[in-house]
Chains A and B, each alone.
Chain A
Amino acid sequence: QVQLVQSGAEVKEPGASVKVSCKASGYIFNTYAIHWVRQAPGQRLEWMAWINAGNGNTKYSQKLQGRVTVTSDTSASTAYLELSGLRSEDTAVYYCARGNLPNDHWGQGTLVTVSS
């Protein structure tokens, strides 16, 4: 069965960077895109970025452009999200989700807390 397993919770200081991983199994990794979505406390879900796991093409939210980078390692069936210049408002649960069109499978989420 399709599974996306994310790395564990992180606590970071303001200004630092964080890298979250998303390991896929149960399907051919390079045939689907991986999207990254975050959910801050009390806020609606926010789409952050997308990577075509087949050819490495990426697209980023304009709001986060310049601070966010998504990559993938097809040999490890793993996608990565890196967010730099962390601020308190980046405190959120970060999800990866599979999907060329609908996001049909999601990771369990990774809590990133930004605090001094």
Chain B
Amino acid sequence: EIVLTQSPATLSLSPGERATLSCRASQSISGNYFAWFQQKPGQAPRLLIFDASNRATGIPDRFSGSGSGTDFILTISRLEPEDVAVYFCQQYGDSPRTFGQGTKVEV
């Protein structure tokens, strides 16, 4: 199965700063079937980005995704206090679907 490795484990930034989160896959993701989720404590994951670079419905444009093959990036252009959460990546191009271990963003 494809292993997804996220970095860094924790990101501490100030409001208004730019956050860059990375996810590396152990092999190329077919079809760029790659997603990013946000999860706040006690809540279900929320889809942010799908197909590597497409924002899900209702997601603010300060969230953007890029990358292809084995390396993917989630960028939060201007951090807001409400962005405090764990962000994790997922690939759905290969079975089984697999997830990264998460990056905790502190603001």
Rounded to whole Å, the gap between the CB of B68 and the closest CB of chain A is: 16
Do A47 and B97 have beta carbons less than 8 Å apart? yes
Chain A residues with Cβ below 8 Å from B64 are: none
Residues facing B in A4-45 (CB within 8 A) are: 35, 37, 44-45
Do A104 and B44 have beta carbons less than 8 Å apart? no
Selecting from A75-83, A84-92, A106-114, the interface stretch reads A106-114
Contact residue range for chain A? Answer: 20 to 34
Rounded to whole Å, the gap between the CB of A11 and the closest CB of chain B is: 19
Contact residue range for chain B? Answer: 20 to 34
A interface: dominant SS:
loop
Identity of the chain A residue whose Cβ is nearest the Cβ of B93 in the assembled complex: A101
Known contacts A101-B50, A103-B92; A109 and B44 CB within 8 A of each other: yes
- Answer yes or no: B100 CB below 8 A from chain A CBs: yes
11 A-B pairs (CB sep. < 8 Å): A35-B97, A44-B102, A95-B45, A97-B45, A99-B92, A101-B92, A102-B47, A102-B51, A103-B45, A103-B90, A103-B92
Which A residues lie at the B interface, using CB under 8 A?
A: 35, 37, 44-47, 59, 61-62, 95, 97, 99, 101-109
